[in-house]
Amino acid sequence: MSIPARGVVFIVDDDASVRKGLGRLMRSAGYHAETFESAEVFLAHPPADVPACLILDVMMPGLTGPALQERLAIDGSLLPIVFLSGHADVPTSVRAMKHGALDFLQKPVEDHILLQSVEVALERSARTRAESGEIAVIRSRLELLTPREREVLEQVITGALNKQIAATLAIAEKTVKIHRAQVMRKMQAGSVAELVRLAARAGIGPDAG
Amino acid sequence: MRSWLLLLPIAIGVLLPRMTLADGILPGAPAADGGVGATVLFSMIIATCLTLASIYGLVWLKQRDAWANVMFSLLAIGTAGMAGCELGMMRSVSTEAFGAMLRGYQVAVWITIVGFVGFVRSYLKTDRVWLGGLVLGARTLTLFPNFIGGAVNVNYREITSLVRIPFLGEGVSVPVGVPNPWMVLAQFSLVLLLAYVTDAAVTCWRLGDRRRAVTVGGGLMVFIGVGITQSILVFWGLVRMPLSASVFFLGMVLVMGFELSRDVLNAGALSKELKAQHRELAHMSRVSAMGVLSASIAHELNQPLTAILSNAQAGQRFLAAPEPDLAEVREILKDIATEDVRAGNVIRGLRAMMKNEPLRRERLDANQIIETVLLLLHAESALRNVVVQKRLAAELPIILGDQVQLQQVVLNLLMNALEAMDALSPGSGCIEVSTDAAEAGWVRIRVSDSGPGIPAEKLAGIFEPFVTTKSAGMGMGLSVCRSIVAASGGRIRANNDPGGGATFTVELPTHRPTVSVA
């Protein structure tokens, strides 16, 4: 293919012709498609380390679409799922959406609708991947902090002044200043505002600790 | 269908007298004056009675509980015998021959009366049994003075001479003799018979069946009354004419024959109506099954439609590329055609099941029937997470039947099996459908499931209507199956498997090609 792949689209459907058709449609739109005849086969497949999404049939022998969604959630997968059902009832679709499905489409589906969902799904996949990458970096920086520096960080992001921090932690104001400089250096934060953002990203809020 | 039989009496009536005149088959002398009116008339009576007797006798042979038919046959045979003896008497030239004929005549009358009473008993069913017994007893008694004692017969102590008188353009013999007093008993039995039939007709009228009371009861009363009157007048020498009671008894035979034929026609119409209702019921059951399956059939259609749409739109995109991959597009078009055929097959199967057409007897392959049904049930079994395994014989003899109805049988059995899986944990159910021709002359279709089986108390009557093991079932499916299989000349049975689950077995006769008669 001359068109560069823009991400991997996994397709899980028990119907061979549907798999083949959807796979072709994805390739015609420039995606790399991988098809699986059952949820079990898909689970046995190693997860992708590129932006990816899953087009998932609902009604399948063996593990059904919603059951696979549940299994992936337990495994902590961040793979966005677009359900494609020929037999969509409202309770099933509502449950799928509540459990984080990106979309719930009806067969037969128009290409622009499906491709739009896939596009959104791949964008989200890319973003969550990037986000999860950034968080990992922040977490590694946080690990460099000493317990005392961590305490100071938690105080700083609440907007407390050095004097207040010194009082709270029962240490000298001068010592607080040294710890604070260390925190800013280790966290690679240029300003208090940036430090607050990084902490929030890592799940440390002003109320934490 | 056997209407040509009715031409027989006319043929015999015309031919018999001619043969008689030429070869002397009938006893007695040919008429000196050449007239044959009486001979023709009585020959025709004989032929008519025998024909009717054989037709209704045949009905009885095929339907042993049709007692009215056999009694009617007896009556007609007796009447034929009476007509024969009457003709014999008319043509007698000696008093001895005349006396012997009259003796035989009494036997024929006895047979007729037995048939008569039996017919009233089995057809009107409103008679008094003791009165009928009295009639038969009295009539049987008359046979003793007929054969035992010095008299010529029950009617005459002795016949002194014969007199030739003209009758229907023919010279016939009538007797001159001394009446036998025992004749009173014979005539008393006839009066009893009249009372018997009158009583039965009145009761029939009172019970509300006025038509039968008038046609059967009234008709019999008139003919028997006239017959009795004539025999009294003739035997006591009050009127000089030949004995011709069989003419009036023929009237009774025709009345009864007409009644019986009405019954046969009614039964025919009834059975036709019943067949139509069976067909209607089968159709309704099919439509309702399709209703139950509608969601899964829609899904079954959705798959090829989805494949077609995504293939077509992928094709458009490929073609829009600067250098279209034509090989890929060719593949796409091929797949689209395949998927279209697949969708078409589902729709054809669905439409066949929905339509209500007259039954056909066509040459069918049991495997093909099962494949078609599995196509309709594919999504349903997937939805229920049940695996349906096929074990179809490679080569099966042709069977005869209506394709749609036999598909319905297989569909019903498989749907029952699928529903039986509800009792199990999801994904653990298994159904096997198999065909074989192990027994010569039969094709066997078996549907086995791994469900809970049929409760023992319901197993025996499982094919009866309104018997069901389902909480929401009407109990019509298997009853419809049984009538369809029976109509195809086959048999169906159900049993629980030793290892759990139920097996339904349908056996259908194979088609034996017959040489058609040109």
Whether residues A185 and A128 fall in one domain: no
pLDDT attached to residue B314 = 95
DSSP of A96-130, one letter per residue? Answer: HHHTT-SEEEESS--HHHHHHHHHHHHHHHHHHHH
Cβ-defined contact of B307 to A24 (cutoff 8 Å): no
Q: The sheet that has A81-85: what strands, in order across it?
A: A32-36, A8-12, A52-57, A81-85, A103-106
Calculate how close chain B gets to A114, using CA atoms only, in Å: 10
> Using an 8 Å Cβ cutoff, are B151 and B180 in contact?
yes
Question: Would you say how long chain B is, in residues?
Answer: 518
CB contact B321 to A (< 8 Å):
yes
pLDDT given at position B338: 94
> Can you give the pLDDT at residue B275?
84
Rounded to the nearest angstrom, the minimum Cα separation between B453 and chain A is 24
Least Cα separation, residue A18 to chain B (angstroms): 4
Q: Which chain A residues are closer than 8 Å to B317 by Cβ?
A: 25, 28-29, 111
Judge: A108–B310 Cβ closer than 8 Å, yes or no.
yes
- pLDDT tens-digit profile, chain B (518 residues): 445 555 655 566 555 555 544 444 444 455 455 578 888 889 999 999 999 899 888 888 887 778 888 899 999 999 999 999 999 988 888 888 888 888 899 899 999 999 989 988 888 888 899 999 999 999 998 888 888 877 777 788 888 888 888 888 888 888 888 888 888 888 888 889 989 989 998 998 888 888 888 888 888 888 888 888 888 888 777 888 888 888 888 888 888 888 888 877 888 888 888 888 888 888 888 888 888 888 888 888 889 999 999 999 999 999 998 888 899 999 999 999 999 999 998 898 888 888 888 888 889 999 999 999 998 898 888 878 888 999 999 889 999 888 999 999 999 999 999 988 887 877 778 899 999 998 888 999 999 998 888 888 888 888 887 777 776 666 778 888 998 898 888 999 999 988 888 999 999 999 876 554 44
CATH number (domain holding residue A180): 1.10.10.10
pLDDT of res. B382: 80
Residue A114 lies inside a defined structural domain of this protein:
yes
Residue A1 inside a domain? The answer is no
Q: Is B308 on the interface with A (CB under 8 A)?
A: yes
DSSP B515: P
**Are residues A115 and A22 located together in one domain of the fold?**
yes
Type of residue numbered B92:
S
Co-location of A102 and A164 in the same domain: no
Q: Is the dihedral of CA B268, B270, B274, B277 positive or negative?
A: positive
Model pLDDT, residue B34: 59
Q: Among the three residues A102, A134, A166, which one is the final residue of a domain in this structure?
A: A134
CA distance A24 to chain B (A): 6
Torsion angle in degrees (nearest 10) through CA of A39, A44, A49, A51: -10
pLDDT of residue B18: 52
Amino acid found at B480: V
Specify the pTM: 0.60
Cβ atoms of residues B179 and B157 within 8 Å: yes
CB pairs under 8 A between A and B: 96
Q: Is A85 inside any structural domain?
A: yes
- Please report residues of B whose CB lies closer than 8 A to that of A87: 295-296, 298-299, 302, 379, 383
pLDDT band, residue A67 (cuts 50/70/90): very high
- On chain A, the residues whose CB falls within 8 A of the CB of B309 are 21, 108-111
Of A79, A111, A134, which marks where a domain is finished?
A134
Secondary structure of B445-473 in the HEC alphabet?
EEEEECCCCCCHHHHCCCCCCCCCCCCCC
Asked if residues B174 and B163 have their Cβ atoms less than 8 Å apart, the reply is yes
Answer yes or no: do B306 and A18 touch at CB < 8 A: yes
Does A153 lie in the same domain as A89? Answer: no
Look at residue A139 and tell me if it is in a domain: no
What are the pLDDT digits (tens) for A151-165? 998 888 888 889 999
Answer whether B340 touches A (CB < 8 Å). Answer: no
Q: For residues A99 and A160, state if they share a domain.
A: no
Residue A53 lies in a domain: yes
Mean predicted lDDT score pLDDT of chain A: 87
Whether residues A75 and A116 fall in one domain = yes
In sequence order, which residues have a C-beta less than 8 Å from that of residue B490 and are 6 or more positions away?
Answer: B401, B442, B506, B507, B508, B509
pLDDT at B472: 66
User: Using a CB-CB distance cutoff of 8 angstroms, which residues of chain B are in contact with residue A24?
Assistant: 310-311, 314-315, 328, 332
B335 touches A at CB < 8 Å: yes
**What's the pLDDT at B39?**
87
Q: Residue A31's domain is classified under what CATH number? A: 3.40.50.2300
Q: What is the pLDDT of residue B14?
A: 57
- Model pLDDT, residue B306: 94
Orientation angle between helical segments A147-156 and A162-169, nearest 10 degrees:
130
pLDDT of residue B8: 58
Angle ∠(B463,B469,B475) on CA atoms, nearest 5: 50
Of A15, A21, A109, Cβ closest to residue B311: A21
User: Which residues of chain A make contact with B308, given a CB cutoff of 8 A?
Assistant: 21, 108
- What pLDDT is recorded for position B76? 93
B268 Cβ partners below 8 Å, 6+ apart?
Answer: none
Minimum-distance CB partner of B305 among A22, A87, A108:
A108
Distance to chain A for B284, nearest Cα, Å: 26
Q: Are residues A130 and A150 in the same domain?
A: no
Which of residues A103, A134, A165 is at a domain's end? Answer: A134
Q: Are residues A20 and A89 in the same domain?
A: yes
**With contacts defined as CB-CB under 8 Å, which chain A residues touch B341?**
none
Question: Which of left, alpha, beta for A48 (phi over 0: left; psi -120 to 50: alpha)?
Answer: beta
- A111 and A183, same domain (yes or no): no
- Give the structural domain span for A102: 8-134
| Model pLDDT, residue B500 | 84
B383 touches chain A (CB under 8 A): yes
Domain count across chain A: 2
For testing the chain A interface, which of B303, B326, B339, B380 should be mutated: the one with the most A CBs within 10 Å? B303
| A123 in any annotated domain | yes
B299–A87 C-beta distance less than 8 A = yes
Identify whether residues A129 and A46 lie together within a single domain: yes
Q: Examine the domain organization and report whether A111 and A82 are in the same domain.
A: yes
User: A182 and A94, same structural domain?
Assistant: no
pLDDT value at residue A54 = 95
- How near does any CA of chain A get to the CA of B456, in Å? 32
- What pLDDT does A177 receive? 92
Question: Is the residue at A208 inside a domain?
Answer: no
- Indicate whether A3 belongs to any domain: no
Judged by a CB distance cut-off of 8 A, whether residue B295 touches chain A is yes
User: Contact, B349 vs B372, CB < 8 A?
Assistant: yes
Shortest Cα distance, chain B CAs vs residue A98, angstroms: 22
Three-state SS string across B315-367, please?
Answer: HHHHHHCCCCCHHHHHHHHHHHHHHHHHHHHHHHHHHHHHCCCCCCCEEECHH
